[in-house]
Homo-oligomer: A and B are copies of this chain.
Amino acid sequence: MNVVPIVRTAGNARMSKMVRAGNLLFLAGQTSSGAPHAHTIEEQATEALGRIDTLLEQAGSSRRHLLSVTIYLKDMALFDRMNVVWQDWVDPEHLPARCTVQARLGLPELLVEFSVTAAAS
């Protein structure tokens, strides 16, 4: 069996922003970290989902190629508000599998993080 070709999108000293392995794309967990005006769950989800768009587009992929998304919410009370942003963002004909759990994230101010697996195109 041949080795699957791996392509890594530079991130920081700890991780790649995205890794392509054959037809699969694995994205680093996306948040609004560093976006000074993303305070509310709506602002943070919008910012993080926009970053996912940017990464997927760099690979010639798109939100229409999402396979599976794990969503970490700092507080499950934000579930409905996050979902409003989510449903406005996803393509209803190309919805990923999804799993949402509550977890504290890397910075206290972060309310949501999206861990994405997608198909390359």
Binding site for B on A (CB under 8 A): 1-6, 8, 11, 13-19, 21-24, 26-29, 65, 67-70, 72, 76, 79, 83, 86-87, 90, 92, 94-106, 113, 115, 117, 119-121
- Tell me how many chains of this kind the complex includes: 3
Residues of B within 8 A of A117 (CB): 26, 68
Q: Which of A13, A23, A92 has the most CB of B within 10 A?
A: A23
- Tell me whether A98 and B21 are in contact (CB under 8 A): no
Residue ID in chain B nearest A6 by CB atoms: B119
Residues of B within 8 A of A65 (CB): 6
Q: Which of A2, A83, A102 has the most CB of B within 10 A?
A: A102
